A = this chain, B = another copy of it.
């Protein structure tokens, strides 16, 4: 008897500033088919934060050892602290049958695709650079320097998207469509042929 695969999927969503990624991911995360992984960080816990619940709080030495041992799925440095997804944590989510939804930039997505070729990678994009720039300016929350920095970063990142399986456009007013598109991508990936190893064996067994 053939059955739906019990494992969840690894879904990576990337998108430059102004792509609407935050809104789209917040919407997807409301869906109980997805689960969070608990990230690891070297930053100090804030009052009320519980180790293993909000984060795994590690010393820099511990974190770097995990990197060296290949125990981090991906990691990044931000404001002098390391943040990352422990491989074990990602595997725990996937074994539970829920999909792991990761928000990761281009280099991290490339690393994940190398380690997990079946990870599904999605790049969410505004329809054009001009629209992206307009959105960043319309926010009115960032300095000109920061906006230009983000736009420069986008120029670099979009040069090589060969590790992405899907490109999802998010034109103005397109959040609902973009979210539906990512849901379809996830639904399709649930029946990817590679998720049915030993298909003939199970089919001919009763």
Interface residues of chain A, those whose CB is within 8 Å of chain B, are 1-4, 123, 125, 127-130, 155, 158-159, 161, 164-169, 181, 183-185, 187-193, 195-196, 199-200, 202-206
* CB neighbours of A164 from chain B (8 A): 193
Instruction: Name the contact of A165 in the complex, choosing from B130, B183, B192 (C-beta under 8 A).
Output: B192
**B127 in contact with A193 (CB, 8 Å):** no
Which residue of chain B has the shortest Cβ distance to A195 in the bound complex?
B167
**B187 in contact with A1 (CB, 8 Å):** no
Point out which of A130, A184, A188 has the most chain B C-beta atoms below 10 A from its C-beta.
A188
CB of A200, distance to nearest CB on chain B (Å): 5
* CB neighbours of A166 from chain B (8 A): 188, 191-193
* CB neighbours of A185 from chain B (8 A): 188, 191
10 pairs of A and B residues whose beta carbons are closest in the complex: A188-B188, A184-B187, A185-B188, A1-B128, A184-B184, A167-B196, A158-B200, A166-B191, A184-B188, A129-B204
This protein's copies in its complex: 2
Within the assembled complex, what's the spacing in Å between the Cα atoms of A155 and B185? 31
* CB neighbours of A127 from chain B (8 A): 1-3
**A4 in contact with B169 (CB, 8 Å):** yes
**A188 in contact with B191 (CB, 8 Å):** no
* CB neighbours of A183 from chain B (8 A): 184
Within the assembled complex, what's the spacing in Å between the Cα atoms of A132 and B203? 10
* 24 pairs, CB–CB < 8 Å, chain A vs chain B: A2-B125, A2-B169, A3-B127, A3-B169, A125-B203, A128-B205, A128-B206, A129-B204, A130-B206, A155-B204, A158-B199, A158-B203, A158-B204, A159-B200, A161-B193, A164-B193, A165-B192, A167-B191, A167-B192, A167-B193, A167-B196, A181-B190, A184-B184, A184-B187
* CB neighbours of A169 from chain B (8 A): 2-4, 191
